[in-house]
C-alpha cells in the first residue's frame, strides 16, 4: 500500500511536469505577442524590446522554461502581466470559492442522482423510470450557460427564491452548485439505476424478500449499501470534470473563483496567470484521481492496490 | 479589454462646450452600485489602460489638467494656473493650495515630478509612458540611463516647470491623461507589488477595500479640494456580474449601473420600453470602426482598389445590423473630434462605381483575407463586408481569431484586410493628433505597430508635425484647419474604409440622477462618478 502510494505520487509529479511543459509550450505557439498587450498601442519597437528583456522573453524557450520551473518549485508563480502583482497569492485568494462551489456541486449531484436512480430502479420499465431517465438525459445534455441563465431567470428573477448571482451567503451557492452538479446528477442517476437493478437481482435480496421484509427496507438496507459503492469511487474523478465546468458557471453567476480568473487571463493573454491556474487545477485533478483510486479497495475488497 | 480594448476617451458632439447646467445643486449622500463582468486589473494610474479601470482611476487620482464634466473642454485641475513660453517649449504650472493625498499629506511639486518619472521609467512597464516623449530627458529615463527627468524642474513646492524638446500642441491634453496622475511616492514604495491594489490619490473618492473577484469600495474624500464634490457618499463596484444578469438586477432595483453596457440581445427590448426613456443615456464616442487595407501588398497597393472597397461597402446596412448603435462614418475622424470635416462626405455606397474602378485598376480577379476578432457582433459585420465585396467581384475569406491574434497579425503586417471592431481606435484624448501618428502615420507602420495598413506618407507626416508645432492660442484654428486637410488627404489615399462611429448607451437605475452626459462622459468612460447623485439623498 505504501509502495503503491509512493509510486503514484512519483507518477503525479511527472504528470504535473508534463502539464507544465505542454502549457508553457502552448503559450509560445499562440500566434500573438504578450509584449504587445503589455506595452499598449502607443509603444515604440524599443519599448517593446525593453519589456521583452525585462521579462526574459529574449532568451531561448528551454532556458525560459528552466527559469520558470526553478521558481515554480519554490511556489513562485511569477508576476501577472496585466495586474503587475504576484500570481500565487492571487490564485490562493480565488481558490476557496472554487473549492466551495465544487463541494456544493458534489452534494447537489449526489442528492439528485442517488434518489433518482433508486426511484427509477424500483420502477423499472414503468412511467416513473422513463420520466426520470428522460430528465437525466436532459440534464446531461443541457449546456451549462443555458442551464445557469435559465435557473437565474426562474428562481432568482421571477420567483425571488435565491439572489441573482454573487458570493458570500449559502443562498448564493445553491444555483451555481445546482448548475454545475445537475449534469453529474444525471450521470449518477443512470449509474445508480443500473447498479441497483444489478444488486436487486441477487439471491440475498430474494432471501430478504422471502423473509417478509418490507420492500423499502430491502432496497435501502440490502440494496443501497451495495449499489452505492461504484458511485463513491467516482466522486474523486468529478474534480477533473468540475475544474473545466467552473470556468462557465463562475462566469454566469459571478462566482469569484479560479475559473473566472482564468477566463479573464485568457482574454488579456496574461500568461503567468494562465500557467498558474492550469498547474493548480492539474494538481487538484491528479489529487482527485489519486483519492478515487485509494478509496476503491476500501469499498470493494476484491480490488487490490499494487 | 473585452469589448472596447485598451480603451480611452470619447466625446459628445452636442456637449462639446456646454458646461453642465444644473438648476439647483444636488445634496451629498447616498450610495451607488456599479457592476462589471470582469474584475479590475489594477488601479495604478501609470499602468491601468482599459475601459473599466480608466474612469475609476480618474475618481481616485487627479492630474494637472482635467476636462469640464461631460465635455472635452480642458481646464486646470491640480494646477491652479499655467503659462506657456513664446517658443512653446516651457510650461510653468502653479499648483493649487490645500490639496492633500488620502493619507493626509499635502501634495507638492516633487510628487508631480516623481509621478511623471514613474510613468516613463521602463521598470513601471507603463503602456502610456511613450506619450511623454517631448519632455526633455525622456530618452535617458526611457533608455534606463537615468531615473530623473531633466526636463521637469521644481523651484518650490507649488511650482512645476516642464521643458520640452519640441513644441507640441497636445501637451496640455497629456497633462490630463491618467498616466500623468499624481501619486505619493511613500505609498507606492510601501505597497511595492501591491500598489495597484491599494491606491492612494488626491481625487474625489478614497479607496476603501478590494475583495478580489468580488468588489471594490470607494468612499467620498471629505478633504477633496473641490467644495461639494463628489455627491455620492460611496460607490461599490461589483465584479463577476454577467451583463445579462446585471440588467435583471437593475430592473429589480439591486444595482444602479450596468457598467458593461447593454448586452446586444437585450438592447432592442430595453430601448422599446417607454419606462426606460430616462434611464438609458445615449452619447457619442471618439471612436471609428474601420477596415484597414495593407498598402504594401497587391492588390491594395493600388489606390483604385482601395477606393473601390470604400465604395463597395454598404455602411447603412452594417449599422442596422448592430441595432443602430452607431452612425455611418464618412472619414477617419469621428464627428465629435476637432478637425472632423462635415463637408467631406467620403465615399458613397456605389457598387457600380466600384466595379468600374476595379476594371480601371486592371488587377484581375481579387482573392484576399479579412481578419476579424471572434466576438459578436464582429464576425457578423465581417460577413456583411464579405457579401458587399463579393458583389463587386472581390473574394474575401474571413479569418476570425482571438483579439490578441488579430492584433499580432496586424502588427506583423500579415493581414491584407482587418475589420477593427473590438480593437478599434478610441482616442485617449480629444485631439486629431491622437488619431494619426499611431494608426495612420509612419511611426505606427512598423513591426508590432498599430498602423495595420502600413500606410506611411512622409509628406503628410511632415505636415502633421508642423501642425502640432502651432501651440499658441491664436494658432488653434489654423492648426485644426491643417489637421482637417491632412485627414482629407488620408481619405483620398484610402488606406482605410471607415465604417461607423459607435455610440454608447448607459443603463442606470431610477434612483440615480445627473445630466445624461455624465452617464456617457467622453472622458470618464463609462460614467463620471464624481458628479452623479442619489435621488434618495435629496
Nearest CA distance, B382 vs chain A (angstrom) = 21
Grid cell for residue A261: 480568473
Neighbours of B86 (CB within 10 A): 8
Domains and CATH numbers, chain B: 289-503 (3.10.105.10)
B451 and B445 in contact (C-beta within 8 Å)? Answer: yes
Q: What is the DSSP string of B126-149?
A: -TTGGGGTTBTTHHHHHTTS-SS-
Q: Is the pLDDT of residue B165 over 60?
A: yes
Q: Average of pLDDT values for B107-125?
A: 96
User: For B457, which DSSP code?
Assistant: -
Which residue is closest to B215 within chain A, CA to CA? A256
Give the pLDDT score at B8: 35
Give the pLDDT score at B23: 47
* Per-window interface: A 154-213 vs B, CB < 8 A: 156-157, 164-168
Classify residue B239 as exposed, middle or buried by CB count within 10 Å of its CB (0-12, 13-18, 19+).
Answer: buried
Q: Average of pLDDT values for B507-525?
A: 91
B179 and B46 in contact (C-beta within 8 Å)? Answer: yes
pLDDT: which is higher, B402 or B218: B218
- pLDDT tens sequence across B349-377: 999 999 999 999 999 889 999 999 998 88
- pLDDT tens sequence across B425-448: 788 899 999 999 999 999 999 988
- pLDDT tens sequence across B285-308: 899 999 999 999 999 999 999 999
| Highest mean pLDDT (candidates A115-124, B21-30, B485-494) | B485-494
B307 and B347 in contact (C-beta within 8 Å)? Answer: yes
CB-based contact A47 B131, cutoff 8 Å: no
Give the pLDDT score at A109: 93
- pLDDT tens sequence across B137-154: 999 999 889 999 999 999
Q: Which of A81, A83, A86, A253 to mutate to test the interface with B (most CBs of B within 10 A)?
A: A83
CB-based contact B130 A97, cutoff 8 Å: no
* Per-window interface: A 86-145 vs B, CB < 8 A: 86, 90, 93-94, 97
Which of B123, B129, B196 is the closest to A83 by Cβ?
A: B196
Q: Average of pLDDT values for B62-91?
A: 94
Grid cell for residue A168: 458570500
- pLDDT tens sequence across B246-259: 999 999 999 999 99
CB-based contact B404 A32, cutoff 8 Å: yes
Contact residues for B227 (Cβ-Cβ < 8 A; gap 6+): none
Give the pLDDT score at B450: 92
Per DSSP, helices labelled H in A126-270 are 127-141, 144-151, 170-200, 203-210, 215-217, 225-227, 229-253, 258-267
Give the pLDDT score at B257: 97
Residues constituting chain A? 306
Q: Could you tell me the mean pLDDT of each successive run of 10 residues in chain A, 306 residues long?
A: 86 92 88 84 84 88 91 91 90 93 94 92 90 90 90 90 86 93 90 90 88 86 83 82 87 90 88 93 89 77 70
Beta bridge partners of B370: B398, B417
- Can you tell me the distance from the alpha carbon of B430 to that of B338, in angstroms, rounded to the nearest whole number? 7
Give, for B389, the enclosing helix (H) or strand (E). helix B378-391
Q: Is the pLDDT of residue B532 over 90?
A: yes
Classify residue A25 as exposed, middle or buried by CB count within 10 Å of its CB (0-12, 13-18, 19+).
Answer: exposed
Nearest CA distance, B254 vs chain A (angstrom) = 9
Give the pLDDT score at B151: 96
CB-based contact B194 A253, cutoff 8 Å: no
Q: Is the pLDDT of residue B21 over 50?
A: no
Give the pLDDT score at A34: 87
Contact residues for B265 (Cβ-Cβ < 8 A; gap 6+): B244
Give the pLDDT score at A306: 64
Q: Name the band, by pLDDT with cuts 50, 70 and 90, for residue B1.
A: very low
pLDDT: which is higher, B486 or B536: B486
- Can you tell me the distance from the alpha carbon of B485 to that of B492, in angstroms, rounded to the nearest whole number? 11
Grid cell for residue A235: 466522486
Domains and CATH numbers, chain A: 2-73 (no CATH), 93-299 (1.10.3720.10)
Give the pLDDT score at B24: 61
Give the pLDDT score at A26: 87
Grid cell for residue B124: 513601471
What percent of chain B has pLDDT above 90? 80
Q: Name the band, by pLDDT with cuts 50, 70 and 90, for residue B182.
A: very high
3-state secondary structure of A62: helix
Which of A33, A94, A152 is the closest to B448 by Cβ?
A: A33
pTM score, two decimals?
0.87
3-state secondary structure of A126: coil
- Can you tell me the distance from the alpha carbon of B307 to that of A299, in angstroms, rounded to the nearest whole number? 75
Quote the Cα angle for A227-A231-A237, to 5°: 165
Q: Which residues of A touch B140 (CB under 8 A)?
A: none
- pLDDT tens sequence across B262-277: 988 889 899 999 999 9
CB-based contact A157 B252, cutoff 8 Å: yes
Q: Average of pLDDT values for B324-348?
A: 95
Which of A35, A82, A251 is the closest to B242 by Cβ?
A: A251
- Interface predicted TM-score (ipTM) of this complex, two decimals: 0.81
CB-based contact B125 A97, cutoff 8 Å: no
Report residue B132 CA to chain centroid gap: 17
Give the pLDDT score at B25: 75
Query: How big is chain B by its Cα radius of gyration, in Å?
Result: 23
* Per-window interface: A 246-305 vs B, CB < 8 A: 250-257, 260-261, 264, 267-269
Which of B122, B214, B446 is the closest to A45 by Cβ?
A: B446
Q: How far is CA B311 from CA B277, B308, B487, in A?
A: 37, 5, 18
CB pairs under 8 A between A and B: 154
Neighbours of A214 (CB within 10 A): 11
Grid cell for residue B256: 444602479
Q: Average of pLDDT values for B391-417?
A: 94
Q: Name the band, by pLDDT with cuts 50, 70 and 90, for residue B422.
A: confident
Q: Name the band, by pLDDT with cuts 50, 70 and 90, for residue B20.
A: very low
Give the pLDDT score at A223: 86
Cα-flanking dihedrals φ and ψ of residue B501, to 5°?
-110, 120
- Can you tell me the distance from the alpha carbon of B104 to that of A177, in angstroms, rounded to the nearest whole number? 46
CB-based contact B240 A165, cutoff 8 Å: yes
Amino acid at each position: 500500500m505504501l509502495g503503491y502510494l509512493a509510486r503514484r505520487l512519483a507518477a503525479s509529479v511527472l504528470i504535473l511536469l508534463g502539464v507544465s511543459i505542454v502549457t508553457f509550450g502552448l503559450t509560445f505557439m499562440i500566434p500573438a505577442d504578450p509584449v504587445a498587450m503589455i506595452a499598449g498601442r502607443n509603444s515604440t519597437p524599443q519599448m517593446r524590446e525593453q519589456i521583452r528583456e525585462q521579462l526574459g522573453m529574449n532568451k531561448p524557450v528551454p532556458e525560459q522554461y528552466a527559469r520558470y520551473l526553478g521558481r515554480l518549485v519554490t511556489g513562485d508563480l511569477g508576476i501577472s502581466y496585466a495586474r503587475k502583482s504576484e500570481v500565487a497569492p492571487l490564485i490562493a485568494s480565488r481558490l476557496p470559492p472554487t473549492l466551495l462551489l465544487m463541494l456544493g456541486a458534489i452534494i447537489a449531484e449526489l442528492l439528485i442522482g442517488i434518489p433518482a436512480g433508486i426511484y427509477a430502479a424500483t420502477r423499472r420499465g414503468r412511467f416513473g423510470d422513463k420520466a426520470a431517465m428522460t430528465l437525466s438525459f436532459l440534464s446531461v445534455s443541457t449546456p451549462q450557460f443555458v442551464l445557469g441563465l435559465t435557473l437565474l431567470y426562474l428562481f432568482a428573477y421571477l420567483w425571488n427564491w435565491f439572489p441573482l448571482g454573487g458570493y458570500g451567503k449559502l443562498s448564493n451557492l445553491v444555483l451555481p452548485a445546482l448548475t454545475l452538479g445537475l449534469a453529474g446528477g444525471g450521470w449518477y442517476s443512470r449509474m445508480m439505476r443500473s447498479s441497483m437493478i444489478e444488486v436487486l437481482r441477487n439471491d440475498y435480496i430474494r432471501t430478504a424478500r422471502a423473509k417478509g421484509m418490507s420492500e423499502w427496507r430491502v432496497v435501502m438496507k440490502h440494496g443501497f449499501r451495495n449499489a452505492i459503492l461504484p458511485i463513491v469511487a467516482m466522486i474523486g474523478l468529478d474534480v477533473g470534470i468540475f475544474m473545466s465546468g467552473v470556468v462557465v458557471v463562475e462566469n454566469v453567476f459571478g462566482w469569484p473563483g479560479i475559473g473566472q480568473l482564468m477566463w479573464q487571463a485568457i482574454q488579456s493573454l496574461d500568461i503567468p496567470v494562465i500557467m498558474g491556474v492550469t498547474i493548480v487545477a492539474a494538481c487538484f485533478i491528479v489529487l482527485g484521481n489519486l483519492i478515487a483510486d485509494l478509496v476503491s479497495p476500501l469499498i470493494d475488497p476484491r480490488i487490490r492496490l499494487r | 479589454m473585452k469589448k472596447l480594448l485598451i480603451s480611452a476617451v470619447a466625446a459628445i458632439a452636442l456637449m462639446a462646450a456646454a458646461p453642465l447646467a444644473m438648476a439647483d445643486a444636488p445634496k451629498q449622500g447616498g450610495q451607488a452600485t456599479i457592476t462589471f463582468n470582469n474584475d479590475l486589473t489594477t488601479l495604478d494610474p501609470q499602468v491601468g489602460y482599459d475601459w473599466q479601470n480608466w474612469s475609476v482611476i480618474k475618481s481616485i487620482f487627479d492630474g494637472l489638467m482635467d476636462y469640464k464634466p461631460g465635455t472635452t473642454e480642458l481646464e486646470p485641475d491640480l494646477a491652479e494656473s499655467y503659462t506657456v513660453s513664446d517658443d512653446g517649449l516651457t510650461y510653468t504650472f502653479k499648483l493649487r493650495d490645500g490639496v492633500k493625498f488620502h493619507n493626509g499629506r499635502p501634495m507638492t511639486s516633487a510628487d508631480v515630478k516623481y509621478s511623471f518619472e514613474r510613468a516613463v521609467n521602463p521598470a513601471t512597464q507603463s503602456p502610456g509612458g511613450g506619450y511623454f516623449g517631448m519632455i526633455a530627458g525622456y530618452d535617458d529615463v526611457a533608455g534606463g540611463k537615468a531615473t530623473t527627468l531633466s526636463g521637469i524642474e521644481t523651484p518650490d513646492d507649488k511650482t512645476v516647470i516642464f521643458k520640452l524638446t519640441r513644441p507640441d500642441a497636445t501637451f496640455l491634453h497629456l497633462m490630463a491623461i491618467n498616466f500623468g496622475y499624481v501619486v505619493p511616492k511613500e505609498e507606492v514604495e510601501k505597497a511595492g507589488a501591491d500598489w495597484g491594489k491599494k491606491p492612494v490619490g488626491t481625487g474625489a473618492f478614497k479607496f476603501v477595500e478590494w475583495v478580489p473577484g468580488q468588489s471594490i469600495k470607494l468612499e467620498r474624500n471629505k478633504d477633496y479640494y473641490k467644495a461639494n464634490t463628489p455627491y455620492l457618499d460611496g460607490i461599490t463596484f461589483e465584479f463577476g456580474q454577467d451583463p445579462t444578469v446585471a440588467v435583471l438586477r437593475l430592473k429589480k432595483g439591486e444595482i444602479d449601473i450596468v457598467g458593461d453596457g447593454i448586452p446586444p440581445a437585450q438592447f432592442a427590448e430595453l430601448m422599446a420600453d417607454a419606462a426606460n426613456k430616462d434611464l438609458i443615456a445615449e452619447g457619442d464616442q471618439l471612436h471609428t470602426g474601420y477596415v484597414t487595407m495593407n498598402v504594401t501588398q497587391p492588390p491594395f497597393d493600388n489606390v483604385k482598389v482601395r477606393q473601390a472597397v470604400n465604395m463597395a461597402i454598404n455602411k447603412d446596412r452594417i449599422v442596422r445590423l448592430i441595432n443602430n448603435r452607431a452612425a455611418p462614418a464618412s472619414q477617419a475622424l469621428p464627428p465629435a473630434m476637432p478637425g472632423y470635416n462635415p463637408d467631406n462626405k467620403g465615399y458613397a455606397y456605389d457598387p457600380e462605381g466600384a466595379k468600374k474602378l476595379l476594371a480601371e485598376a486592371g488587377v484581375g480577379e481579387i482573392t484576399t483575407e479579412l481578419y476579424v476578432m471572434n466576438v459578436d457582433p464582429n464576425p457578423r459585420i465581417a460577413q456583411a463586408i464579405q457579401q458587399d465585396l463579393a458583389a463587386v467581384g472581390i473574394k474575401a475569406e474571413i479569418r476570425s481569431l482571438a483579439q490578441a491574434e488579430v492584433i499580432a497579425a496586424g502588427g506583423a503586417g500579415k493581414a491584407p484586410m482587418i475589420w477593427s471592431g473590438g480593437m478599434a481606435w478610441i482616442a485617449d484624448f480629444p485631439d486629431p493628433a491622437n488619431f494619426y501618428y499611431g494608426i495612420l502615420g509612419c511611426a505606427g507602420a512598423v513591426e508590432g505597430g498599430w498602423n495595420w495598413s502600413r500606410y506611411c506618407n512622409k509628406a503628410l507626416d511632415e505636415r502633421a508635425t508642423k501642425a502640432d508645432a502651432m501651440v499658441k492660442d491664436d494658432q488653434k484654428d489654423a492648426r485644426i484647419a491643417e489637421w482637417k486637410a491632412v485627414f482629407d488627404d488620408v481619405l483620398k489615399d484610402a488606406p482605410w474604409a471607415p465604417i461607423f462611429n459607435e455610440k454608447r448607451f448607459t443603463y442606470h437605475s431610477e434612483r440615480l440622477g445627473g445630466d445624461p452626459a455624465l452617464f456617457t462622459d467622453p472622458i470618464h468612460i463609462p460614467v463620471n462618478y464624481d458628479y452623479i447623485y442619489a435621488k434618495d439623498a435629496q
